[in-house]
């Protein structure tokens, strides 16, 4: 069964409870004020892999992934008297309403995850539509002595009331200091490490509560939604390593204080993704979206394959060369699977499959799994039909659409020398809408005796 590194317990542990065949998983969803870049998408690939590996072992997986469409401050480390959040700031910048902004980028996110073959969750609640859950939870925390309201309508969580705070990140309350950009400790707080559960505001996207009009703090959203849709016992909680502190520490404190026990059994985090050696950010100009990959003529699933080349908790440096290499491998594998499909089917090599599946089970060792798969690809002692069955079997986890070329008219072994490469280059040029290159490559193919015809389903040749 699948084992993963638990950030809180600092060790690799089996994540499916003994004696059960079910798994409840919560994944921190996107803040929908801009498009998710490929670094953000890496976190959602992590939860998708956990799901796919578990389901291949007969485990029923229930996933909740929220949509944060309110409550995320422009800078959560600073006091923001205007109460404006990222959604409102982006709405003003684009001249659209907050609802238009959030729905547009939510739709963009869903299209990106679909393009990466990330399975949709069973529950995808929006923060703006579950305010009542948050208000109810805040009231309960106040009643239990874990939160307090102040005269201006703010409500804060009392960090000192939760003695085990810091077990995920290793940060101890008595060692925490105010943020480096805050000149003075907020006088409304009992302790500088307390955080806001509710914030007063009269701006757009605010609600009436017993404490006044305002909007929820970012952390309370995940607590309220995870408890409502998955219950008080959650097997796995995933997210990027940047959420470990303070978001997941605050979320754990809120959820456990409400339930009266440890809610999440395992906290699993994915590491940072760099691009060309730097963290992705607008200031450095190296933000790469999935759309940019497609516009470059590469298959979006080349991103999925490139990310699988590194373990989820290993920092990774992605480059355009890496993506092009992944795209080339992806196309080669699809061509191989299509060619093998024409041979008689054969049984999968049990020992080889077992080793690859064991790599997935061992803290998602995807680099090892891919290395073993490449060895199998080159092993001519295994019949084509057996390799065909094995690749398609494992693609239920890899989700690379390896059967995509089966039945297509292009069969490289029948082409004149060099024509297969020209056809592939022309296909990429058409995907990138580089019509000049497409026409030039058509002429080069014609010179080799290959006639190309474009159809709505792609190019064919004779």
Three-class HEC string of 59-100: CEEEEEECEECCCCECCCCCCCCCCCEHHHHHHHHHCCCHHH
Higher confidence at residue 433 or residue 35? 35
Closest to 273 in 3D by CA, of 313, 238, 234: 313
| Residues recorded for the chain | 462
> With 70 as the cut, is the pLDDT of residue 79 above it?
no
Q: In this structure, are residues 254 and 219 in contact, taking their beta carbons and an 8 Å threshold?
A: yes
Residue 28 among known ligand-binding residues: yes
Residue 222 among known ligand-binding residues: yes
Confidence grade of residue 56 (pLDDT, cut at 50, 70, 90)? very high
Q: Is the peptide bond before 246 cis (omega within 30 degrees of 0)?
A: yes
> What does the pLDDT look like over 333-372, one tens digit per residue?
999 999 999 899 999 999 999 999 999 999 999 999 999 9
Q: In this structure, are residues 127 and 223 in contact, taking their beta carbons and an 8 Å threshold?
A: no
Highest mean pLDDT among 73-77, 275-279, 359-363: 359-363
Residue 247 among known ligand-binding residues: yes
- Give me the half-sphere count of Cα atoms (radius 13 Å) on the Cβ side of residue 116: 32
Higher confidence at residue 7 or residue 93? 7
- Give me the half-sphere count of Cα atoms (radius 13 Å) on the Cβ side of residue 309: 20
Distance CA 433, CA 330 (A): 21
Residue 64 among known ligand-binding residues: no
Residue 282 among known ligand-binding residues: yes
Confidence grade of residue 80 (pLDDT, cut at 50, 70, 90)? very low
Residues 6+ apart with CB under 8 A from 460: 409, 410, 452, 453
Amino acid 409: pLDDT: 47
Amino acid 411: pLDDT: 52
Confidence grade of residue 417 (pLDDT, cut at 50, 70, 90)? confident
> Domains in the chain, start-ordered, CATH in brackets?
3-270 (3.40.50.620), 274-398 (no CATH), 412-461 (no CATH)
């Amino acid at each position: 069964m699948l084992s993963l590194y638990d950030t809180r317990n600092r060790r690799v542990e089996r994540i499916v409870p003994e004696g059960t065949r079910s798994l409840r998983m919560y994944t921190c969803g996107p803040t929908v004020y801009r498009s998710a870049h490929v670094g953000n998408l890496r976190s959602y690939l992590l939860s998708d892999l956990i799901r796919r590996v578990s389901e291949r072992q007969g485990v029923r997986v229930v996933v909740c992934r929220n949509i944060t469409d309110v409550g995320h401050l422009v800078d959560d480390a600073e006091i923001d008297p205007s109460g404006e959040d990222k959604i409102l700031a982006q709405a003003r910048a684009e001249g659209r309403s907050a609802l238009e902004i959030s729905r547009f980028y939510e739709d963009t996110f869903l299209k990106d995850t679909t393009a990466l073959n990330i399975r949709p969750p069973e529950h995808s609640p929006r923060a703006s539509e579950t305010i009542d859950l948050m208000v109810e939870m805040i009231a309960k925390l106040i009643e239990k002595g874990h939160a307090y309201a102040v005269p201006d309508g703010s409500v804060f969580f009392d960090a000192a009331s939760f003695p085990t705070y810091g077990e995920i990140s290793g940060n101890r309350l008595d060692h925490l200091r105010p943020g480096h950009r805050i000149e003075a400790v907020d006088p409304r707080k009992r302790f500088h490490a307390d955080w806001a559960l509710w914030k007063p505001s009269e701006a757009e996207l605010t609600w009436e509560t017993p404490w006044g009009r305002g909007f929820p703090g970012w952390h309370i959203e995940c607590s309220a939604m995870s408890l409502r849709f998955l219950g008080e016992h959650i097997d796995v909680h995933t997210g990027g390593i940047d959420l470990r502190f303070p978001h997941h520490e605050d979320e754990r404190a809120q959820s456990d204080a409400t339930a009266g026990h440890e809610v999440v059994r395992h906290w699993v985090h994915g590491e940072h993704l760099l691009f060309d050696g730097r963290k992705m950010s607008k200031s450095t100009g190296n933000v790469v979206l999935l759309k940019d990959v497609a516009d470059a003529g590469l298959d979006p699933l080349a991103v999925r394959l490139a990310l699988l080349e590194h373990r989820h908790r290993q920092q990774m440096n992605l480059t355009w060369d890496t993506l092009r290499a992944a795209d080339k491998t992806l196309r080669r594998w699809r061509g191989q699977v299509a060619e093998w499909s024409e041979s008689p089917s054969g049984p999968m090599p049990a020992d080889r499959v077992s080793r690859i599946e064991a790599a997935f089970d061992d803290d998602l060792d995807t680099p090892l799994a891919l290395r073993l798969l490449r060895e199998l690809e080159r092993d001519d002692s295994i019949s084509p039909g057996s390799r065909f069955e094995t690749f398609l079997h494992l693609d239920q986890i890899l989700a690379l659409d390896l059967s995509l070329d089966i039945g297509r008219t292009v069969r490289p072994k029948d082409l004149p020398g060099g024509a297969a490469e020209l056809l592939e280059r022309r296909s990429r040029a058409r995907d990138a809408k580089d019509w000049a290159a497409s026409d030039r490559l058509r002429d080069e193919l014609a010179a080799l005796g290959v006639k190309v015809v474009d159809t709505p389903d792609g190019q064919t040749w004779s």
